[in-house]
Amino acid sequence: MISSPSETGLDAATAELLAGSLREVLTTNLDGSGLGSVLEELGWDEVLADDRAGATTLLFVEHGRALAASRVLDDVLLAELAPSLPAPGAGTRVPFYPLGTAAPVTPGAPLAGLLLGGLDGVTEVVVPVALDGRVELALVPAGLVTAIARPAGGFDPASRWLVVEGAVDGLAEHTLPDGGAWERAVAAGRLALAAEIIGVCAAALAIAVEHTSARVQYGRQIATFQAVRHRLSEAHVATESARSVLAVAWAAQDHPDGGVGAARLAKLRAGWAQAEVMRHALQVCGAMGLSLEHQLHRHVSRAAALDALLGGHRALTEQLGTELLAGADFDRVVEI
């Protein structure tokens, strides 16, 4: 049975204290510099051991709220991948994030994916490879990836991400059995990303509430107009439903699939929520919300980029539906 998602270890006062410290460092240093030492000061390893769900959600919600662009998500994936990899030695590893539904790379096909930052100081990129129906991990020297990487431009230029596009020779030649690690890494990453998207959504909704409560037209605050109020309510519903699914997904770790299905659902619903929240927030903030000087556009862009990481909500919805059509169980997801 899945336990109540409210039974997490962090009490409200501790959570608020931790959130405050994280908020301070993340808003001061958007690139995440200083985050490591703050986490150390807070005794983050202990906090994680105490309440992995609560701590991870707290960290990534704040990361999203601040629109930070650190590589802390890499650590979440690497923690799951590490048991299947040799000790890293002196170098630094980073995981590769395939585009689409985060499926492992087919040998011979060009890579298409993202890295969460530059390759300076990185020695190896961990790439999942699909071999005869199983997944193996390739440790690709960073130099080979540098040749086919470029800074991500496009919708969210503040992301600091790299786009990797192109072939890497010999990808399938020196791979290691992953023992299910890639699937677990994707699931862990999706839980963190769902929280991060929820953080961006909460911040955008707060901006929209503040704007519509202050902005006066026709002699009244525009938040008194029903059309505006109802959009904001819908944004709230979308965000809250993403929170509920995320809590359930964390509580699903003892499910027969290890919580992989529930983690995908949490990411899917967070992705859907950001589409709803941003649509409504943009509308009620009017032309101001479209301007470069206003902060809203940064939330819109970041939420869309985070949605695409480890599987966008539309791709995941179609993947889920395809499995259902093919006869997959209708998991009840949650029991009382």
133: how many CB neighbours lie within 10 A of its CB?
5
209 lines the binding site for other proteins (CB under 8 A):
yes
264: how many CB neighbours lie within 10 A of its CB?
25
120 by Cβ neighbours in 10 Å (0-12 / 13-18 / 19+) ranks as: exposed
**Span of 21-29, 38-46, 302-310, 315-323 interacting with other proteins by CB under 8 A:** 315-323
240 lines the binding site for other proteins (CB under 8 A):
yes
Q: Which is nearer to other proteins, 186 or 316 (CB)?
A: 316
Cα four-point dihedral sign 305, 105, 191, 235: positive
Q: Closest distance between other proteins and the C-beta of residue 269, in Å?
A: 5
User: Strand pairing of 93-95 and 124-131?
Assistant: parallel
Stretch 48-77 residues interacting with other proteins (CB under 8 A): none
Q: Map residues 153-192 to x or -, x wherever contact with other proteins holds by CB under 8 A.
A: ----------------------------------------
User: Strand pairing of 111-115 and 149-151?
Assistant: unpaired
Residue 105 DSSP symbol: B
Kindly tell me which residue out of 114, 195, 245, 304 binds other proteins, with binding defined by CB under 8 A.
245
**Span of 11-19, 87-95, 130-138, 309-317 interacting with other proteins by CB under 8 A:** 309-317
Q: Which is nearer to other proteins, 147 or 325 (CB)?
A: 325
Distance CA 94, CA 92 (A): 7
195 lines the binding site for other proteins (CB under 8 A):
no
Stretch 83-122 residues interacting with other proteins (CB under 8 A): none
Residue 236 parent element (H or E) = helix 226-250
253 lines the binding site for other proteins (CB under 8 A):
no
**Span of 48-56, 92-100, 238-246, 296-304 interacting with other proteins by CB under 8 A:** 238-246
Stretch 264-303 residues interacting with other proteins (CB under 8 A): 265, 268-269, 272
Q: Which is nearer to other proteins, 75 or 240 (CB)?
A: 240
Q: Closest distance between other proteins and the C-beta of residue 235, in Å?
A: 9
SS3 of 280-291: the string is: HHHHHCHHHHHC
Kindly tell me which residue out of 5, 117, 199, 312 binds other proteins, with binding defined by CB under 8 A.
5
The backbone region for 138, taken as left when phi is positive above 0, alpha when psi lies in -120 to 50, beta otherwise, is beta
Of the candidates 161, 280, 288, 195, the one whose C-alpha atom is nearest the C-alpha of residue 232 is: 280
Can you tell me whether residue 180 is helix, strand or coil? coil
Strand partners, 114: 97, 163
Distance CA 139, CA 79 (A): 15
Q: What tokens appear for 329 in the block?
A: 């169980």
217 lines the binding site for other proteins (CB under 8 A):
no
Q: Closest distance between other proteins and the C-beta of residue 266, in Å?
A: 9
Scanning the structure block, which residue is given the tokens 């301070």? Answer: 24
Kindly tell me which residue out of 132, 169, 173, 335 binds other proteins, with binding defined by CB under 8 A.
335
12 lines the binding site for other proteins (CB under 8 A):
no
Residue 326 DSSP symbol: T
Binding residues (CB under 8 A) for other proteins: these are 1, 4-6, 209, 212-213, 220-221, 223-226, 229-230, 232-234, 236-237, 240-242, 244-245, 247-248, 265, 268-269, 272, 314, 316-322, 324-325, 327, 330, 332-336
